[in-house]
């Protein structure tokens, strides 16, 4: 444990923190949105988090200072990308009143007053509160434990971990964000940061198996179904940054019928692309491989945010290794692209240049 703690502290801008759940609600049939409020050192560090980084959440109560969960359904922490890091949030979804403007008491399904200022919303001490948004899918005992937590309850997390996306040098570049499944959340965060930094030419692509399986909130009321390849304000988490997107479902229940990469290529064929186009992708293996191949054919710069099973999240257990091609170095420029080496998704990634990854040997995540 001492070695793990030292490894965690190698980078000053991360740590172990206990926050309070400020909100939790369902997104479609399989996903949940959890908002965690952090103060003090946690708020200071997470304010500087980058899209593409992730957190490791303990699915149980940690009370002995060991950093190990001994009371919940899982021993190991669970990794989750961040869907946003904000100074305010809107309870009940985007479009609702800001939390500090809500009057009166509203209880959640556990009987907890959602407007009670004694929990994560309490700012009587003057501490800054930073809200970390996590979107997760219910798949096992860990995420089901998280789904059972109520507003005001404490939750322990490590982060921010890993390395995030790198923006283009030119703020006029065309930027495409493509996500599938639980690969969508970090791209919501990335759109927030890109737009805040002055990038205006950003479009999103969201993929799911069906309309109730998007890891986000659909704006169905204003959606023009007759134009599935026309970018619209479809996903509310992207709409908050003014980012239009195209939605695709494999069963044809919403938006474009087909995969998100198929929609992306059809869109590019209609609108054109060029060397100034940057593609950022996150999702399951098959989708990332297809996105990387599409980017290579079109000579687009592509960064992928990879998924992997991991136990520690800080480079100790070595369970998330991925084979990549070596880049040229100043000392040995002639060796670039010939050799390969293993890198860790948790500490070297999870964001990689798509052309680096040896896709044929990437272990698929089931």
Which of 32-36, 49-53, 94-98, 283-287 has the weakest average pLDDT?
94-98
Condensed to tens digits (0 to 9), the pLDDT of residues 146-205 reads 999 999 999 999 999 999 999 999 999 999 999 999 999 999 999 999 999 999 999 999
What pLDDT score was predicted for residue 274?
59
What pLDDT score was predicted for residue 199?
95
Condensed to tens digits (0 to 9), the pLDDT of residues 309-354 reads 888 888 888 888 999 998 765 554 444 446 899 999 999 999 999 9
- Do the beta carbons of residue 250 and residue 209 sit within 8 Å? yes
The CA distance from 304 to 151, in Å, is 33
Mean pLDDT of 292-299: 92
Neighbours of 128 (CB within 10 A): 12
Q: Which domains does the chain have, with CATH numbers?
A: 2-161 (2.40.30.10), 174-307+350-355 (3.40.50.80)
Contacts of 122 by beta carbon, 8 Å cutoff, 6+ apart: none
Neighbours of 349 (CB within 10 A): 24
The CA distance from 150 to 113, in Å, is 10
The CA distance from 191 to 178, in Å, is 11
Condensed to tens digits (0 to 9), the pLDDT of residues 84-114 reads 999 876 555 443 444 433 222 222 333 333 3
What pLDDT score was predicted for residue 269?
86
**Concatenated DSSP letters of 246-293:** EEEETTSSSSEES-HHHHHHHHHHHH---TTEEEEEES-HHHHHHHHH
- Percentage of the chain with pLDDT > 90? 63
Condensed to tens digits (0 to 9), the pLDDT of residues 259-270 reads 999 999 999 888
Burial class (CB in 10 A: 0-12, 13-18, 19+), 71: exposed
- Do the beta carbons of residue 19 and residue 129 sit within 8 Å? no
Residue 276's pLDDT band (cuts 50, 70, 90): confident
Strand duo 130-137 + 84-86: pairing: antiparallel
| φ, ψ dihedrals at 141, nearest 5° | -65, -35
């Amino acid at each position: 444990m001492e070695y793990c703690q030292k490894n965690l502290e190698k980078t000053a801008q991360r740590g172990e923190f206990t926050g309070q759940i400020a909100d939790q609600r369902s997104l479609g049939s399989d996903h949940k949105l959890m908002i965690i409020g952090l103060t003090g050192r946690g708020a200071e560090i997470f304010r500087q988090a980058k899209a593409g980084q992730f957190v490791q959440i303990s699915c149980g109560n940690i009370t002995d200072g060991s950093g190990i969960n001994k009371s919940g359904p899982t021993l190991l922490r669970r990794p989750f990308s961040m869907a946003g890091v904000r100074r305010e949030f809107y309870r009940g979804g985007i479009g609702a009143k800001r939390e500090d403007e809500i009057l009166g008491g509203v209880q959640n399904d556990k009987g907890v007053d959602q407007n009670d200022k004694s929990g994560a919303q309490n700012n009587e001490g003057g501490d800054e509160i930073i809200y970390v948004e996590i979107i997760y899918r219910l798949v096992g005992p860990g995420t089901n434990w998280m789904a059972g937590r109520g507003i005001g309850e404490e939750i322990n997390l490590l982060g921010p971990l890993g390395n995030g996306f790198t923006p283009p040098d030119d703020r006029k570049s065309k930027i495409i964000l493509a996500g599938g499944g639980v690969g969508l959340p970090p791209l919501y965060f990335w759109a927030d940061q890109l737009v805040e930094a002055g990038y205006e030419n950003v479009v999103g692509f969201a993929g799911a198996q069906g309309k109730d399986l998007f890891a986000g909130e659909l704006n169905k009321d204003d959606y023009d179904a007759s134009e599935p390849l026309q970018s619209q304000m479809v996903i509310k988490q992207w709409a908050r940054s003014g980012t239009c997107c195209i939605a695709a479902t494999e069963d044809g229940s919403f938006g474009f019928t087909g995969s998100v990469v198929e929609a992306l290529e059809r869109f590019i064929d209609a609108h054109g692309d060029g060397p100034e186009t940057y593609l950022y992708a996150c999702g399951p293996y098959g989708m990332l491989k297809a996105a990387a191949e599409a980017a290579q054919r079109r000579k687009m710069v592509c960064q992928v945010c990879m998924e992997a099973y991991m136990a520690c999240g800080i480079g100790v257990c070595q369970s998330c290794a991925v084979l990549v091609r070596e880049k040229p170095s100043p000392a040995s420029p002639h060796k670039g692209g010939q050799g390969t080496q293993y890198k860790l998704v948790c500490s070297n990634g999870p964001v990689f240049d798509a052309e680096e990854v040896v896709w044929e040997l990437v272990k698929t995540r089931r």
